[in-house]
Amino acid sequence: MSSLSQARLARSIALHLFLTPLALIWLFPLWMMVVFSTMPDNGIFSPGIELLPHGGFLDNFDNLQRGTNFVGAIGISVSVAVTYTFLSVLLTSMAGWALARYQFFGKGMVVAIILGTITLPYAVVLIPQFIMVARDFQLANTWVALIVPPLFNSLGVLFMRQAFSMMPHELFDAARVEGVKEWRIFLFVALPLARPMLAALAIILFLASWNNYLWPLLINSQPGAMTAPVALGTLIGLTKVSWGGIMAGAVMLTVPMLVVFVLLQRHFIAGIAAGAVK
């Protein structure tokens, strides 16, 4: 018995000896992001090794704000992400509800097409989307351009379909017998029951919008219409630029999401894991 627990102890020690350095390596870029964001540029570009934060975050932030209107860009990013998340959750759960609870003509085909788009690279739709939004609709550099085209998602719909189809149908039949309309059943019976799944979906969609780069880069390229990642991206690669400022911007984009991640870890993980578990 004691040899068994000794073996367990040895295995436990080996596990931690392997995993701890790996975890530290994984945290290192995030830690350095924070460290860099607090160092003056001549500190970042000096020969010594600095691994602890200094006190220069606000100076770096000033430098950043001088290079680009980052606060304004954050404002656009937040408003777009909130609007996008609300609309996308609504659209996605309505579609998921229909696929989960009704028998209708063409249902199998709709599901097959949604599944098919998972393996289709976004690159295939990128150019026509751009031509359509920028040239045909004349919507470049607007919020609509940032919010509407990305509204389609496939994994989210499958996730919500799964969520709704697991609910016992007696819940809804009772309401139907009393003559409650379908949209009221959806809004006031089904959606409240799906709250944890909706939270998971909303977090993932918010994050996707917040971090989205390629589409906003293409469609909202005017300085006053840029999202925060795009505004920050324009600074990277300039020859005379404050790297401390760029890092301050990176921290402002990242740390709020890390806080949300820590607070809502369960929903976060559920949202990401949803893709895989049937």
Partner 1 sequence: MRTQNATAYRFLAPYLLIFSIFWVWPIISSFLISFQATRTVPWRFAPTFNWGRLIGDPAFFNALENTLLILVIQVPVMISLAIVMAVLLNSPLLKARGLYRFAFFAPVVVGEVAYSAVFRLMFNLDFGIVNKLLNSVGLPKIDWFSNVTPAMAVIMIAVTWRWAGYNAIILLAGLQSIPDDVYEAATLDRVSKVKQFFYITLPLLKPVIVFCAVLSIIGTMQLFTEPFLITERGGPGGGTETLGLLLYRQGFRSLNFGYASAIAYTMAGLAIAITLVQLWLTRDPK
DSSP for 209-277, please give it: HHH--HHHHHH--SGGG--HHHHHHHHTT-SS--HHHHHHHHHHHHHHHHHHHHHTHHHHHHHHHTTT-
Candidates 31-39, 59-67, 166-174, 194-202; binding stretch for partner 1 (CB under 8 A):
31-39
Q: Based on the shown chain and the rule CB under 8 A, indicate whether residue 132 belongs to the binding site for partner 1.
A: yes
| Residue 214 lies near partner 1 (rule: CB under 8 A) | yes
The conformational region for residue 237 under phi > 0 = left, psi -120 to 50 = alpha, else beta, is: left
- By CB under 8 A, the residues from 181 to 200 that bind partner 1 are 182-183, 186
Nearest distance, CB of residue 103 and partner 1, angstroms = 5
- Site residues for partner 1, window 8-27 (CB under 8 A)? 8, 11-12, 15-16, 18-19, 22-24, 26-27
Span near partner 1 by CB under 8 A; candidates 46-54, 138-146, 168-176, 192-200: 46-54
176 binds partner 1 (CB under 8 A): no
- Chosen residue from 115, 187, 263, 269 binding partner 1 by CB under 8 A: 269
**Phi-psi group of 138: left, alpha or beta (phi > 0 → left; psi -120 to 50 → alpha; rest → beta):** left
Q: Does 127 bind partner 1 (CB under 8 A)?
A: yes
**Binder among 124, 144, 166, 174 for partner 1 (CB under 8 A):** 124
Question: HEC states along 65-100?
Answer: HHHCCHHHHHHHHHHHHHHHHHHHHHHHHHHHHHHH
Q: Among 158, 212, 165, 217, which Cα is nearest to 193's?
A: 165
What are the residue ranges of helices labelled H in 107-213? 107-118, 123-130, 143-147, 155-165, 170-177, 182-185, 191-193, 195-211
Q: Which is nearer to partner 1, 116 or 224 (CB)?
A: 116
Check residue 238 for interaction with partner 1 (CB under 8 A): no
- Which residue in 117, 141, 142, 162 binds partner 1 (CB under 8 A)? 117
Residues 208 and 56: beta-carbon distance below 8 Å: no
Which of 159, 200, 247, 267 forms a contact with partner 1 (CB under 8 A)? 247
Size of the residue set binding partner 1 (CB under 8 A):
92
- Find the binder of partner 1 among 146, 158, 229, 267 (CB under 8 A): 229
Closest by CA to 134, choosing from 221, 232, 19, 234, is 221
- Rounded CA separation 7/108 (Å): 53
Q: How far is the CB of 49 from partner 1 (least distance, A)?
A: 5
- Cβ proximity to partner 1: between 18 and 174 the closer is 18
Q: Is 71 in the site for partner 1 (CB under 8 A)?
A: no
Residue 158 lies near partner 1 (rule: CB under 8 A): no
